[in-house]
């Protein structure tokens, strides 16, 4: 019981910071999206391509969450200087308090959109609200098509599902991944979820994702 109470207290304290972040962003009319996936699904590559291809239309900043290292933040810095690294030093998710500090270090007034790249983990990041307008879940075809069934919470809570690395579904590559099954499973959990099959590597399918992003930034909501 004791353990449960501590868990609850942590979540309540987190939600206070999440509300603070949400107010900060609303006041400045900035859209913020929280990107969540397993390690290696291609979040960083998706961000780099998105930032570069939309740079004349939308100014994008990134809060980069990692357990260790700033490898991903350095990769993103090639596309934008508006990047702040958070190292969680072992924790498997970002907290709203960490994001609060990071927002103060971003040139927020110069940006239209802020992505939070969460720590690679499909489980607990879905429980920690960060003050974002919406969550984006990324699933790569290399991970298998059972993920919506096995990790329902993040698929139920996300506005968008990006099915990444669809270039791997081409002839000659042995990947057991049924795109239609994933779409059906995700929609069973979340009837409103937008689903974009993409390859951040080749660019295939990315224009639909850019269209959704551009419209959401224009409307300032999802």
What does the binding site for Mg ion look like in residue numbers (CB under 5 A)?
A: 43-44, 72
Q: Using the 8-state DSSP alphabet, how is residue 131 labeled?
A: S
- Smallest distance, Å, CB 6 to Zn ion? 14
CB nearer to Zn ion: give 18 or 206.
Answer: 18
> Using CB distances below 5 to 8 A depending on partner kind, what does residue 92 bind out of Zn ion, Mg ion, none?
Zn ion
> CB under 5 to 8 A by kind: which of Zn ion, Mg ion, none does 43 bind?
Mg ion
Is 93 or 135 the residue whose CB approaches Zn ion more closely? 93
Residues between 106 and 165 with contacts to Zn ion, criterion CB under 5 A: 124
- Total binding residues for Zn ion by CB under 5 A? 3
Q: How far is the CB of 126 from Mg ion (least distance, A)?
A: 17
Contacts 24+ apart (CB under 8 A), 141-144: 141/165, 141/166, 141/168, 141/169, 141/175, 141/177, 141/179, 142/40, 142/168, 142/175, 142/177, 143/38, 143/40, 143/41, 144/176, 144/177
In angstroms, rounded to a whole number, what is the distance separating the alpha carbons of residues 178 and 86? 35
Single out the residue of 89, 143, 83, 86 nearest to residue 118, CA to CA.
86
Which is closer to Mg ion, CB of 15 or CB of 70?
70
Whole-Å CA distances, 107 to 82, 114, 122: 7, 10, 29
Binding to Zn ion (CB under 5 A): which residues in 86-105? 92-93
Smallest gap from Cβ 118 to Zn ion, in A, equals 10
Rounded CA-CA distance 188/191 in Å is 6
Residue 72 binds what, of Zn ion, Mg ion, none (CB under 5 to 8 Å, by partner type)?
Mg ion
Binding-site ranges for Zn ion (CB under 5 A): 92-93, 124
């Amino acid at each position: 019981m004791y353990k449960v109470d501590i868990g609850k207290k942590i979540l309540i304290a987190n939600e206070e910071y999440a509300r603070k972040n949400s107010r900060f962003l609303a006041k400045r009319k900035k859209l913020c999206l929280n990107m969540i996936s397993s390690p290696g699904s291609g979040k960083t590559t998706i961000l780099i391509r998105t930032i570069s291809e939309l740079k004349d239309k939308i100014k994008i900043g990134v809060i980069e969450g990692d357990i260790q290292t700033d490898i991903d933040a350095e990769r993103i810095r090639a596309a934008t200087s508006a990047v702040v690294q958070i190292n969680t030093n072992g924790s498997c998710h970002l907290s709203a308090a960490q994001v609060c500090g990071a927002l103060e270090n971003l040139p927020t007034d110069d940006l239209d959109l802020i992505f939070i790249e969460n720590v690679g983990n499909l489980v607990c990041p879905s429980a920690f609200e960060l003050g974002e307008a919406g969550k984006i879940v990324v699933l790569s075809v290399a991970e298998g098509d059972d993920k919506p069934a096995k990790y329902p919470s993040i698929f139920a809570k996300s506005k968008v599902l990006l099915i990444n690395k669809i270039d791997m579904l081409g002839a000659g590559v042995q990947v057991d991944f049924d795109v239609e099954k994933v779409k059906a499973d995700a929609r069973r959990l979340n009837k409103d979820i937008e689903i974009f099959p993409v390859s951040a590597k080749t660019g295939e399918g990315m224009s639909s994702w850019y269209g959704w992003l551009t419209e959401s930034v224009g409307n300032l909501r999802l």
